[in-house]
Chains A and B, each alone.
Chain A
Amino acid sequence: MIGYLLNRIGSLIIVVIGVLTIVFFSLHLAPGDPVEVMLGDRSSQSERENLRRTLGLDQPISTQYKTYIKNLLQGDLGNSLHRRKPVAEIIASRIGATVQLALLSMLIASIIALPLGIIAARYPFRLPDRVAMLFSVLGLSIPNFVLGPVLILIFSLWLKWLPTAGHQYDHSWVLPTIALGTAMAAMLARVFRASLIEVKEQIFITTARSKGLSQSRIWITHIIPNALLPLITVWGLQFGTLLGGALIVEIVFNWQGLGSLLIEGIEQRDYPIVQGCLLVISLSYVIINMLIDILYAIIDPRIQS
């Protein structure tokens, strides 16, 4: 177990260094002079020189990289050019909304997907399975920026049940979480179905059946718990898709989270904000997946070898 842990943490460190490097160079990838792009055409020479000095862009690139890493280790993500506040502070004020959105979407997706997967696997290749998988393909194919407006149109404008946007009202979380969670529900249902069918054909299920256990007992105590295992990994991987999808859903529903902050940052050419969001989102994704891998190894000792 300790060897496994060290191995995982070792590869985490390599990935984190890679992520930091890509995030650092993302600013230098910008075509032309980033300072000019940030300030616009009408800026004076002295303004540009000033900004260049503040950002440290007049230093050689290796020095810049060192300063960047040093500041990061102290929790300093730089200052926003547009809002004139520390990036870390702005991100801290926005991250809660995104976490809330992602967790609720995951919850809703799981509530939809688990029964769907069970129904499909209970009657594989028959009508219930086909219907469930049809829903799954439909859900996988509808992009969240299509589903979002359609949901607003139906539930906010026509039926007037739910607010159209924002996150300050009582039920404003409902539509964004559905828009974001549908694709995940579709994916989870598929994986769960496949996993259930695989477990169903294992020898220990035949043993349980020959012991005379009832069908429902076999499903609840043997098939479902075993089939849930691979789902843990999918949850982690889909969390990344959720974070990516949140970028768009937050724009559709004017949800004040990290995603909309990132898009605002891109529109305003506020590169420190963009770098900060990129860093926070990808690091949290990597760390969550590592925790899930470790959790998985604890629950299912078979995979450590």
Chain B
Amino acid sequence: MNISKTSITYYFLAFSLLVLSVWFFNVSLDPKQITLAYILSPPDFFNTNGIEGILGYDELGRSVFSRLIKGAIPAFTIAILVVLFSMLIGVTIGLIAAFFGGWVDMVVVRIIDVFLAFPGLLLAIILSGILGPGLFNVVIALCAVGWVGFARITRAQTLSLRQRDFVVAATSQGQKTSAILYRHIFPLTMAPLLVEATFAFAGSILAEAGLSFLGLGVQPPDPSWGQMIRIGAQYMLTSPHYVLAPSIALWATVLAINYCGDSLQRRYSHLN
């Protein structure tokens, strides 16, 4: 874990910097400010309108830059919540299934199989369609899909760990099951879980944007990237800036997170 600790520090620093800059712009920008004169006007790099005009304006004359920054907040909030809750649920279920074994394990494996039977976004789309739009419902819908990955990894890791000598030693010392799980097994499952969490974070941002794209996520007039892409696509021919700005932002964000996941994975596999 020593090697990846330094890299985690770097990722954490980069992430904090990102959050700070988003927060900084967040205070000064108004994503709902409508200026009719600017409807669909292209990016203005000479900044006659200040930083707000830098990415142009949308179909109602709102600053694309402001909406991009403000749209990042629900995306990140949702992704963080989804990863946290999915991890909490998935790790608990995975630990319990693997450590108790027997019929508990069998039931959990079957439940996981059933959830895996719904391809990717499908269940999330249906759930948020049924629950109705809104930040909280999106989190529920994505967690319902997201916990499975964590549960599978934790279960597999724990199964291989519980055979190890130090677990047997701890058991023979008469330590409580909960203490063994928490103190001896869980820390060793951290590295693969961290990799999974990074990819899940990217996946959640993509999924939230996908749901918003379908009109099932954040509702207008609040900005979100998926929604901007959908509406921007309608003005693609005359004002390509409108669809390109959120598209590139989303792509770059997911790319950056996937890169982190990749290098974490590489470090982790070197450790093994």
Where the two chains meet, the residues of A that have a C-beta atom closer than 8 Å to any C-beta of B are 11, 14-15, 18-19, 22, 26-27, 29-31, 137-138, 140-143, 145-146, 149-150, 152-153, 157, 239-245, 247-248, 251-252, 262-263, 266-267, 274, 278, 281-282, 285-286
Q: Would you list the 7 A-B pairs with minimal beta carbon distance, nearest first?
A: A240-B119, A18-B114, A244-B120, A266-B129, A141-B255, A244-B121, A146-B247
| A19–B114 touching, CB < 8 Å | yes
With CB as the reference atom, state the residue of chain B lying closest to A143.
B206
Q: Does B111 contact A (CB under 8 A)?
A: yes
| B255–A243 touching, CB < 8 Å | no
30 pairs from A and B in contact (CB 8 Å cutoff):
A11-B110, A14-B113, A26-B126, A26-B127, A26-B130, A29-B131, A30-B131, A137-B259, A138-B255, A142-B255, A143-B209, A143-B210, A143-B250, A143-B251, A143-B254, A145-B210, A149-B236, A149-B243, A150-B247, A239-B119, A240-B119, A243-B120, A245-B121, A247-B214, A248-B210, A274-B126, A281-B119, A282-B118, A282-B122, A286-B117
Instruction: Tally chain B residues at the interface, Cβ within 8 Å.
Output: 43
* Most chain B CB atoms below 10 A, which of A14, A143, A247, A285: A143
In whole angstroms, how far apart are the Cα atoms of A286 and B250 in the complex?
31
With CB as the reference atom, state the residue of chain B lying closest to A252.
B233
Q: How far is the CB of A10 from chain B (nearest CB, A)?
A: 11
In whole angstroms, how far apart are the Cα atoms of A93 and B219 in the complex?
32
Contacts of B119 in A (CB 8 A): 239-244, 281-282, 285
A266 is contacted by which of B110, B126, B258 (Cβ under 8 Å)?
Answer: B126
Contacts of A252 in B (CB 8 A): 233
| A142–B251 touching, CB < 8 Å | yes
Where the two chains meet, the residues of B that have a C-beta atom closer than 8 Å to any C-beta of A are 110-111, 113-114, 117-122, 125-127, 129-132, 202, 206, 209-210, 213-216, 226, 229-230, 232-233, 236-237, 240, 243-244, 247, 250-251, 254-255, 258-259, 262
Contacts of A243 in B (CB 8 A): 119-120, 122
| A245–B114 touching, CB < 8 Å | no
Contacts of B254 in A (CB 8 A): 141-143
Contacts of B206 in A (CB 8 A): 143
| B110–A18 touching, CB < 8 Å | yes
Contacts of A145 in B (CB 8 A): 209-210, 213, 226, 229-230
